[in-house]
């Protein structure tokens, strides 16, 4: 078989869909992975940690990285920048890791444009908007306003579910984890175009 | 979860890649499937059976089916027609089956245009052209001329491997079967756009 290579798993879906719980459930079964941490210029909030929730940088640093083409993708939301640095992703891919992104619908488009050959995309959603509302309210970490915003965003994002290869409805956590585990393990089997091309070139001559 | 639905698995690759052996190896593990039988206007050859190797029809019948839009895809090769009838595929999909196509690169394009949302495509290849030649010669069913033609076609088709979601290099049959089994089981998880759309429409109101 062709030697091992890094691949990408994009997870999108509303905050409250259960992405983190699902990743925790399958983490031991999907081999070595790297969870991509986004970079942002927004201020650190209480309870957040540098390098865990985000890499926090100044606007100047962010703009410099844009100019130097250091982002796989970036976007502005409410005058703050959010982006994914290319270097750690490239490094993880070179080590043959599964790189997992928790990223929005726009981010998925950007990643597919750059790394579509090795990317598997999954949209994760709670079974209904009312269930999402319940979950966000019961975890009690967000203000009413933040919850309203998350629900509005969820309504917009779910309209674009069909841009993903897979839709996982997280109703029962164990069932959803079984589905996502299956998808993540198969995601490993994608082979990058450049490696395919090298194989094809060799193919006629050995 | 969303109710069960039919999905498509396209297998392409040169004659001699081992597609039939691989399907036999995994047949017990992939749930109910329907292996699509092509329709052709070329004469039946010795050892071939109607409904097993092909559906054999006259040119008049074939043209009538084209006119009535009864083909999922069709093509002409050496003045003979080859095609896939829509009806049995649609029936199998409605029963929630995995529909398997053994079809060429053009056929894969056509199926992806029509059923891309539920299609998983796999290119299966022997590890090298010389190994393909060995296999074709040692099975001794084809004339020298037919083998030469198959090798020419293989060289052309392998150039388009990157149009497939997965490349499976059939060097060791057991390893290749494990890979294909994994892909086929995950192929089951694809959900058709129309079902996703119905889910999204319901999603906000339950």
Residue A134 sits in a domain whose CATH number is: 3.40.50.300
| Number of folded domains that form chain A | 1
Yes or no, beta carbons of B158 and A200 under 8 Å apart: yes
Question: Interior CA angle at A109 toward B103 and B9, to 5°?
Answer: 20
The beta-carbon neighbor of B196 closest among A162, A190, A204 is: A162
Q: Does the beta carbon of B35 lie under 8 angstroms from any beta carbon of chain A?
A: no
pTM as predicted: 0.91
Please check whether residue A42 lies inside any domain of the structure.
Answer: no
Please check whether residue B87 lies inside any domain of the structure.
Answer: no
Which segments of chain B have a pLDDT < 50?
1-2
SS3 percent helix, strand, coil of chain B, rounded to 5, is 50, 20, 30
- Domain containing B144 equals 7-36+96-203
Asked if residue A9 lies in contact with residue A184, where contact means CB atoms within 8 angstroms, the answer is yes
- Note the pLDDT of residue A63: 97
| Chain B hits for A202, Cβ within 8 Å | 128
| SS3 label, residue A116 | helix
Burial zone of B60 (CB within 10 Å; 0-12 exposed, 13-18 middle, 19+ buried)? exposed
- Note the pLDDT of residue A132: 95
Q: Does the beta carbon of B4 lie under 8 angstroms from any beta carbon of chain A?
A: no
What is the C-alpha to C-alpha distance for residues A204 and B125, in angstroms, rounded to an integer? 12
Q: Does the beta carbon of B162 lie under 8 angstroms from any beta carbon of chain A?
A: yes
Please check whether residue B156 lies inside any domain of the structure.
Answer: yes
Please check whether residue B168 lies inside any domain of the structure.
Answer: yes
Yes or no, beta carbons of A183 and B189 under 8 Å apart: yes
Task: Tell me chain B's radius of gyration from C-alpha atoms.
Answer: 18
Please check whether residue B31 lies inside any domain of the structure.
Answer: yes
Please state, in angstroms and as integers, the Cα–Cα distance from residue A140 to each residue in A30, A134, A135, A143, B182, following that order.
Answer: 31, 10, 9, 8, 40
Taking one residue from A and the other from B, the number of pairs with CB-CB distance under 8 angstroms is 88
Q: Does the beta carbon of A19 lie under 8 angstroms from any beta carbon of chain B?
A: no
ipTM of the complex: 0.88
Q: Does the beta carbon of B134 lie under 8 angstroms from any beta carbon of chain A?
A: no
Yes or no, beta carbons of B169 and A200 under 8 Å apart: no
Which segments of chain A have a pLDDT < 50?
1-2
Please check whether residue B193 lies inside any domain of the structure.
Answer: yes
Q: Which of residues 93-132 of B touch A (CB under 8 A)?
A: 117, 125, 127-130
Please check whether residue A43 lies inside any domain of the structure.
Answer: no
Yes or no, beta carbons of A189 and B166 under 8 Å apart: yes
Yes or no, beta carbons of A158 and B203 under 8 Å apart: yes
- Note the pLDDT of residue B2: 44
- Note the pLDDT of residue B8: 98
Cα B146 to chain centroid distance, Å, stands at 21
Rounded to the nearest angstrom, the minimum Cα separation between A162 and chain B is 6
Please state, in angstroms and as integers, the Cα–Cα distance from residue B152 to each residue in B12, B52, B85, B126, B197, following that order.
Answer: 15, 26, 28, 14, 44
Burial zone of B184 (CB within 10 Å; 0-12 exposed, 13-18 middle, 19+ buried)? buried
- Note the pLDDT of residue B4: 64
What is the C-alpha to C-alpha distance for residues B139 and A95, in angstroms, rounded to an integer? 41
Q: Which of residues 176-195 of B touch A (CB under 8 A)?
A: 179, 182-183, 185-186, 189-191, 193
| Chain B hits for A205, Cβ within 8 Å | 129
């Amino acid at each position: 078989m062709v030697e091992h290579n890094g691949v990408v798993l994009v997870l999108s879906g509303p905050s409250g869909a259960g992405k983190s719980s699902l990743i925790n459930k399958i983490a031991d079964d999907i081999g070595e992975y790297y969870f991509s941490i986004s970079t942002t210029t927004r201020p650190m909030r209480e309870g957040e940690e540098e390098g865990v929730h985000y890499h926090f940088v100044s606007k100047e640093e962010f703009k410099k990285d844009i100019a130097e083409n250091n982002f796989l993708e970036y976007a502005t939301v409410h005058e703050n920048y959010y982006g994914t640095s290319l270097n750690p992703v490239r490094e993880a891919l070179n080590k043959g890791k599964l790189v997992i992104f928790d990223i929005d619908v726009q981010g998925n488009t950007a990643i597919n444009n750059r790394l579509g050959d090795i990317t598997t995309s999954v949209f994760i959603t709670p079974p209904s908007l009312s269930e999402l509302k319940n979950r966000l309210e019961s975890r009690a970490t967000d203000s009413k306003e933040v919850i309203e915003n998350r629900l509005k965003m969820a309504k917009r994002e779910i309209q674009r579910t069909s841009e993903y290869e897979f839709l996982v409805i997280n109703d029962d956590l164990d069932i959803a984890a079984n589905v996502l585990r299956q998808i993540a393990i198969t995601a490993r089997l994608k082979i990058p175009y450049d490696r395919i091309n090298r194989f094809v070139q060799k193919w006629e001559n050995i």
